[in-house]
Amino acid sequence: MAEENQTLVTVFVLTGLTDHPELQVPLFLVFLIIYLITMVGNLGLIALIWKEPHLHSPMYLFLSSLAFADACTSSSVTPKMLVNFLSKNHEISLVECFTQFYFFCYSAATECFLLVVMAYDRYVAICNPLLYPVVMSNRLCSQFIGIAYCVGILNSTVHVGLLFRLTFCRPNIIHYFYCEIVQVFKISCTDTTINMLVVLIFSIFIQAFTFMNIVVSYTHVLFAILKQKSEKGRSKAFSTCSAHLLSVSLFYGNLFLIYIHPESGPAEDKEKLYSLFYTIIIPLLNPFIYSLRNKEVIGALRRILKK
């Protein structure tokens, strides 16, 4: 009888960022502008890199792939959030929810591995400059990018596949602005121990493993830069690597706070803030972080605008 009285739900309700009705329209306008700038910045950077032949080097091919991952991250979350700002009905179907998380999870894992190969690219360019054209061939770059996307697809497929084993019969309210996986677990009436274990294992492997590889690569790069006698060479190398390190710090700092933290981790409002920064602000900042201090990108943009 208990099982018969349970009502299985296939529709969830997203509470969003705020419960205050007077803030809905201003927030809609703010995040709409952010989303438009994000898409113009990332897609514009991709177009610029592919249009300019002298930007067809490994570093910029990786950068265009990173811009695509950022565009996917933002597009997986922001459009639904914008709709909910202007709608009284904040419902999202089970299929829509799982689809949203699939693309978010795919782009997040892909970005982790793209940041690793970008760090390796800088390591080879600075520590072994004479061998760089041989080591970082177009074939190897394509393989690196392909592996990053395959890992992203595998990661999201495993998590979403396991989500389909769950049933939902408790209150269907997700206290978040998108279908974040841990929040979905909280409203499940099926035991989520296996799901949580897989999330933990994948998070440790993808986030901690890739972060340690980035740290090792940039440690070698730092020592190589300090050994350079040319002040101009050191300045150029620091300028190139500083953008990468800033992006890595923002990206991994938020990931660790969200997915790898103690049981008494951040409060719900703080966790929302970390997620907001990770899903919306970082994709907005990345194209500018990598472009504004890059003379080749700025030069290519000026040539395009003149034409």
* pLDDT tens column, 14-46: 988 887 888 889 999 999 999 999 999 999 999
End-to-end, the C-alpha distance of the chain in Å comes to 73
Given a cut of 70, the residues of the chain with pLDDT beneath it are 1-7, 229-237, 239-240, 258-269, 293
Distance CA 270, CA 252 (A): 16
CB 295 within 8 Å of CB 243: no
d(CA 25, CA 86): 7
**pLDDT for the residue 265:** 46
Domain boundaries, the chain: 2-306
pTM of the model: 0.87
Rounded distance between C-alpha atoms, residue 302 and residue 307, angstroms: 9
What does the pLDDT read at residue 9? 79
DSSP 281: I
Per-residue pLDDT at 35: 96
What are the tokens at 210? Answer: 């890739």
Predicted confidence at residue 113, as pLDDT, reads 93
The pLDDT score that the predictor gives to residue 254 is 74
What pLDDT is stored for residue 232 in this prediction?
Answer: 67
Structure tokens at 82: 């914008």
Task: Give pLDDT, residue 3.
Answer: 45
What does the alpha-carbon distance between residue 116 and residue 283 come to, in Å, rounded to a whole number? 17
Q: How far apart are CA 24 and CA 27, in angstroms?
A: 5
Query: At the top level of CATH, which class does the domain 2-306 belong to?
Result: mainly alpha
